[in-house]
């Protein structure tokens, strides 16, 4: 079942996002990631994603590569919320 991730990074900067996403997201989406958006907030930024499954989210966010890239960027640890998806519509 598809799953939705919302990662809130209070105190994080868009430069930190750009640094970490340069290797984690921009070269190509990780296996299972269907949709990725970063939006600025008043106190940092949020990443909103749709994945093929909760297992795919946990595999990615629990990986050594993810932890290394987030740590190297200097951003605060994201607060991650995972929810099941009821319905997804995609424009073609």
- What Rg do the C-alpha atoms of the chain give, in angstroms? 13
pLDDT given for residue 67 in this prediction: 94
> What global pTM score does this model have?
0.91
Residue with tokens 């990631």: 33
CA atoms within 13 A on the CB side of 57: 24
* Predicted confidence (pLDDT) at residue 25 exceeds the cutoff of 90: yes
Question: Can you tell me the mean pLDDT for 45-56?
Answer: 97
Average pLDDT of the chain, as a whole number: 95
Tokens at residue 42, please?
């008043």
pLDDT given for residue 89 in this prediction: 85
Question: Can you tell me the mean pLDDT for 65-70?
Answer: 94
Phi-psi region of 11 (alpha: psi -120 to 50; beta: other; left: phi over 0): left
């Amino acid at each position: 079942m598809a799953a939705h991730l919302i990662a809130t990074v209070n105190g994080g900067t868009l430069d930190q996002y750009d640094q970490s996403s340069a290797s984690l997201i921009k070269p190509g989406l990780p296996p299972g990631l269907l949709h990725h958006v970063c939006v600025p907030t008043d106190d940092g930024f949020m990443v909103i994603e749709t994945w093929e499954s909760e297992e795919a989210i946990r595999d990615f966010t629990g990986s050594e590569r993810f932890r290394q890239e987030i740590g190297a960027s200097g951003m605060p640890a994201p607060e991650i919320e995972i929810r099941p998806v009821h319905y997804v519509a995609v424009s073609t």
